[in-house]
Structure 1
Amino acid sequence: KALLWYPWWLLWCCLAVTVIGYPGETVTISCSYPEEFQTNTKIFYKQSSPYFFEVISTTESQKGRFSISEDRRSRVISVRISDVREDDGGVYYCGVRIGGNEVSYHLLYTEIHLQVSGEKHKLLLQIMKLCCICVRVSLCKGICVLVFFLFGYCCIPPKSERNRPLKGMTTSTLIGKHD
């Protein structure tokens, strides 16, 4: 089914979530829903502007590579996409059907951006993570050096003060010579 954007289509409080998947893997997308929708049919849509296609709903548990489950106590639906492909990437919505079969409207409550990356992207992401770790370590080292210098500045007297004898002592006392 394709739904066109009509005035009865209500877009409500969409919260955007990004999910990253890799070809061949299984991706799970979870959406929590408000308590007032506990008994409504939940629907998972894919957007293909200006249309929204119903991918799967809670009236069926499996549809091709897509499966859906609902935990009513925690008010969460989970959609599993097995053997993810790059063309699965795109914008999805979790929604509910309100009303009967004759007259109903659909309420969207969560927006999901599914990014499916190939192997080359996987390597790039790992390199980026490694660079972030290196930057964090460098920042920690920089902070340690900064603390060391601040400690040294606060606790070590300036050069002009270093060679002055302490009150009550002569230079020869400091060197170890006695008169």
Structure 2
Amino acid sequence: MIHLHDLHGTRSLMFLACETSEFLTFTAHEGGKVEIRCPYEAKYEEHKKYLCRGECPRVFKDKPVESESAAKDERFSLTDNKTAHIFTVTITDLRTEDKGQYWCGVKTGLFNHDYKREIYLEIKHDIISHFILCLVTQKTKSYVLSIEVVKILNTYHWSHISLKRH
């Protein structure tokens, strides 16, 4: 299960990830946040956990974040719930370039293959409405029309319109 948040964190939407026998697919919105929950076996409780980007070869892995180390990118963070045997990777301020293949990984030992679970992250673009405003002027009075521009996420939303006398 993942949690998605809008750009300002004012709404929290909950979605299920699509699961197949091979990998998990997460869909999130650009500018938002995604929490990827990675379960692991109890025997790996004290092992290092990480998120790997791309093919994730045995050596020279692109790891934006791993436990017990500072994240390479401050938008990535990792927390480990050792009681539940789940580590969670949070990615904030999602960007188009975040789209792609990732792996939840647990370091198992020097000569062993790491325990990994494949993840695919899809980034959707929000629909943003744009408005053109006019200044209406009369001989004795002038009014300014202002409108609050609201990000629209596949829904209809009314904005507030106000008239101010100058």
TM-score by length of 2: 0.57
Task: Please list, as runs of the form range in 1=range in 2, the aligned pairs for 1:30-49 lying within 5 A after superposition.
Answer: 30-48=37-55
Higher alpha-carbon deviation: 106-115 or 66-75: 106-115
- Number of matched residues? 107
Unaligned regions of 5+ residues in structure 2, if any? Answer: 1-20, 128-152, 156-166
Q: Which amino acid aligns with 1:109?
A: K
Give the structure 2 partner of residue 90 of structure 1. Answer: 100
Q: Report whether the alignment pairs 1:55 with 2:76.
A: no
Give per-residue Cα distances to partners, 1:103-138, cap 9 Å, x unaligned.
Answer: 454513211100001125x64xx7xxxxxxxxxxxx
Tell me how far 1:49 sits from its aligned partner. 7.5
Q: Which amino acid aligns with 2:38?
A: C
Tell me how far 1:90 sits from its aligned partner. 0.5
Structure number with higher helix proportion = 1
Unaligned regions of 5+ residues in structure 1, if any? Answer: 1-13, 127-179
CA contact (8 A) 1:96 1:106 kept: no
Give per-residue Cα distances to partners, 1:80-113, cap 9 Å, x unaligned.
Answer: 10100010011110111123xxx45451321110
Q: Which amino acid aligns with 1:58?
A: S
CA contact (8 A) 1:33 1:109 kept: no
Task: Please list, as runs of the form range in 1=range in 2, the aligned pairs for 1:15-164 lying within 5 A after superposition.
Answer: 15-48=22-55, 52-60=61-69, 62-63=71-72, 64-99=74-109, 103-119=110-126, 123=154
Structure number with higher strand proportion = 2
How many Å separate the matches in 2 of 1:87 and 1:29? 17
TM-score by length of 1: 0.53
How many Å separate the matches in 1 of 2:22 and 2:80? 19
How many Å separate the matches in 1 of 2:42 and 2:75? 29
Identity %: 25
Q: Which amino acid aligns with 2:66?
A: S
Provide closer, same or farther for how the CA distance between residues 87 and 95 of structure 1 changes in structure 2, counting only shifts above 3 A: same
Please say which structure displays the higher CA radius of gyration. 1
Q: What's the C-alpha RMSD, in Å, of the aligned pairs?
A: 2.3
Q: Which runs of 4+ in 1 moved over 6 A?
A: none
